[in-house]
Amino acid sequence: MQFQDLFKKKNTSTDMSLPKGKLVHGIEIKKVPVGKYLSAMRELEDLPAKIIKDLFPGMSLEAIMSTFTGATDETVINLALTLLRVAPEHAIDALATILNIDKDKIKDELTPKELCDVVRAFWELNDMTAFFGDVSGLIKKLLPTLTTGSRSGSPSARQSGSVKEMFSKATTSMNS
């Protein structure tokens, strides 16, 4: 045995099983703690409200709804074109926050395929699906099911509630 080998730290099975960061298209992908992951989910949760704010600047919920009521082909085309412009910008902002990198690096250095590779690598390294599934199962066991009427559990009732919340959140942030 050589002298320098005496001072080398031996790898434990724990050290070897920990996922290591990796470099994907020049971007370092790191393992993130649960708190950072939850912060990223909040960022993504706000994404629809930010996009609605850009699609309907300064408009109230009632004005937005009346836009849909009287929508023409031109209205729909204009909304689609605006959506194609603003959605990627907001998605890049959210990804930059989640990946903890400068958004200009994403916009200026990565192709769409490379960005997908980076996101895929991030997801693989930080896969929390099992964690959130387990937590969800625990919550369902601990909290009683609340029913407030015959439609409370229907998918359409839940969906309409989430749409109302999304529009409410968007219009609230527009007014501030």
- Report yes or no: 163 and 48 within 8 Å, Cβ to Cβ: no
Specify the number of domains making up the chain.
1
For residue 148, is it within any domain?
A: no
For residue 76, is it within any domain?
A: yes
User: 60-71, pLDDT tens digit by residue?
Assistant: 989 999 988 888
For residue 71, is it within any domain?
A: yes
User: 134-166, pLDDT tens digit by residue?
Assistant: 777 778 877 765 544 445 444 544 444 555 565
For residue 1, is it within any domain?
A: no
For residue 118, is it within any domain?
A: yes
For residue 51, is it within any domain?
A: yes
The continuous run of DSSP H or E covering 22 comes out as strand 22-24
Which tokens go with 23? 């470099």
pTM, two decimals, is 0.56
Print the domain residue range for 114: 32-126
User: 105-143, pLDDT tens digit by residue?
Assistant: 999 999 999 999 998 898 888 776 766 777 777 788 777
Burial class (CB within 10 angstroms; exposed 0-12, middle 13-18, buried 19+) of 49 = buried
For residue 4, is it within any domain?
A: no
